[in-house]
Amino acid sequence: MRVAAIQLDVVWEDPPANYRRAEKRIQEAAALGAGLVILPEMFACGFSMRPDRVAEVPGGPTEAFLAEVAGGLGVHVLAGVPLRLDAGAPRNCAVLVAPDGGVRRAGKLHPFSFAGEHEHYAFSDEVHTWEVGGLRITPLVCYDLRFAEPFRLAATRTDLFVVVANWPERRRAHWQTLLRARAIENQAFVVGCNRVGDGDGLHYAGDSAIVSPWGEALSGAAEQETVLVADLDPAAITAARAAFPALRDRRPEAYRLAEPG
C-alpha cells in the first residue's frame, strides 16, 4: 500500500483554515496514489489545552470533513482529533476514517503532564490495531512515542505503527531517534507525522518520517509543509523478522529486578 504523511502547517485553533489546507494536501496525496493518508495530532486546531474550544463529539465537524474527503477521493485518512467520547473529560484521539464513512478511534495512552495535558484530557488504556488494505496498523499519539511498552505489546500483530504528533523543535533529536528505535526494536514500519510552523508560542520543525523495519528512512522532511510518500508491503515485515528473528527471542516474563547491592 502507498502511504502518505502530510506534514501540515497548522493554523492555531482555526478548523476551517486547517480543513482547507489539509484538503489540498490530501488531494495531492491521492493523486500520488496513496491509499492511506495521515495527518498530524489535533490537525484542525493545534495542540490546544482548551478542550472547551476545540473538542468535538463523534461525527462532529472534523470527522464530517474527514469522511467527506475520504469518500470523495476513495482513501483512508488517519488524523488526530480531540473528542468527547463520553461524559468524562475529552480524549486526544487518533481517528481512522474509511472511504465508506466508517470511523475507528483510539485515545492517547500517556498524559503529557509537562504541558498540563493531564489536567484537560482523559487517557486510554487500550492499544488498537486496525487493518487497511492488508496492512495491520497500530496508531499512537505524540508523547506515546517515548514509551516502548505499547509498541512491544502490539509488535507481533503490527506491520505499521503510526505516530501522529505536535512535537516541538526543541526536542527534535528525541523525535528522530525514537522513531528509528521503535522501528528497529519492533521490526515494523513506523510513520511519524508531525506538524510544522508555529502555535501557542512553540515552533515545530516537522521531521516527519517513514522508517523501514531496519531503521532506514524511506522518506523524510523538515521545516516546510509537504507530503511524504512510500510504498509499504507487509511482506517486508515477514521477511525482516525471518531474516533476523529478534522478536522471537524476547523473554519479558523471564527476568526481574534483583535486590540492589
Residue 203 phi, psi (nearest 5): -110, 140
In a domain, 135, yes or no: yes
What is the predicted pLDDT for the residue at 253?
82
Catalytic residue list contains 142: yes
What is the distance between the alpha carbons of residues 211 and 128, in angstroms, rounded to a whole number? 20
Please report, as a single letter, which amino acid is at residue 116.
G
131, three cell numbers: 487493518
For residue 9, the model assigns a pLDDT of: 98
Which tens digits make up the pLDDT trace of 111-159? Answer: 999 999 999 999 999 999 999 999 999 999 999 999 999 999 999 999 9
According to the model, what pLDDT value does residue 255 have? 86
Q: What is the pLDDT of residue 252?
A: 82
β-sheet with 208-211: strand ranges across: 130-132, 135-141, 160-164, 189-193, 208-211, 217-221
pLDDT at 87: 84
CA 27 to chain centre: 19
Q: Please indicate, yes or no, if residue 257 is contained in any of the structural domains.
A: no
Q: For the beta carbon of residue 28, count every other beta carbon within 10 angstroms.
A: 16
Choice among 41, 56, 63, 169 that is catalytic: 41
CA distance linking residue 178 with residue 190, whole number of Å:
10
Nearest-CA neighbor of 81 among 54, 121, 116, 52? 54
Instruction: For residue 67, give its domain range.
Output: 2-249
What region, left, alpha or beta, does residue 233 occupy, with left being phi > 0 and alpha being psi -120 to 50 degrees?
beta
**Active-site position among 108, 117, 169, 193:** 108
Task: Please report, rounded to a whole number, the percentage of residues in the chain having pLDDT higher than 90.
Answer: 95
Q: How far is CA 84 from CA 49, 102, 105, in A?
A: 14, 18, 11
- Determine the average pLDDT of the residues in 230-248: 97
Other CB atoms within 10 Å distance of the CB of residue 91: 22
Q: Which of 45, 93, 142, 193 is the catalytic position? A: 142
- Could you tell me if residue 175 is inside a domain? yes
Residue 256 is assigned to a structural domain of this protein: no
Is 254 within the bounds of a domain? no
Q: How far is CA 16 from CA 11, 21, 29, 62, 67, in A?
A: 9, 9, 20, 9, 15
223 catalytic per annotation: no
Angstrom distances, CA of residue 19 to CA of 8, 45, 149, 244? 11, 10, 34, 43
Q: Can you give 241-253 as a three-state secondary structure string? A: HHHCCCHHHCCCC
Number of domains observed in the structure of the chain = 1
> Does any domain span residue 258?
no
DSSP H or E stretch at residue 232: none
Show Cβ contacts of residue 31 under 8 Å, excluding neighbours closer than 6 positions.
Answer: none
Q: Identify whether 27 is part of a domain.
A: yes
Q: How confident is the model at residue 88 (pLDDT cuts 50, 70, 90)?
A: confident
In a domain, 14, yes or no: yes
CATH assignment at residue 94: 3.60.110.10
Residue by residue, DSSP assigns 48-88 as: -S-HHHH-B-TTSHHHHHHHHHHHHHT-EEEEEEEE--SSS
253 is catalytic: no
Nearest to 212 by CA among 246, 245, 196, 235: 235
Q: Which residues of 63-88 are buried (b: 16+ CB within 10 A; e: fewer)?
A: bebbbebbeebebbbbbbbbbbbeee
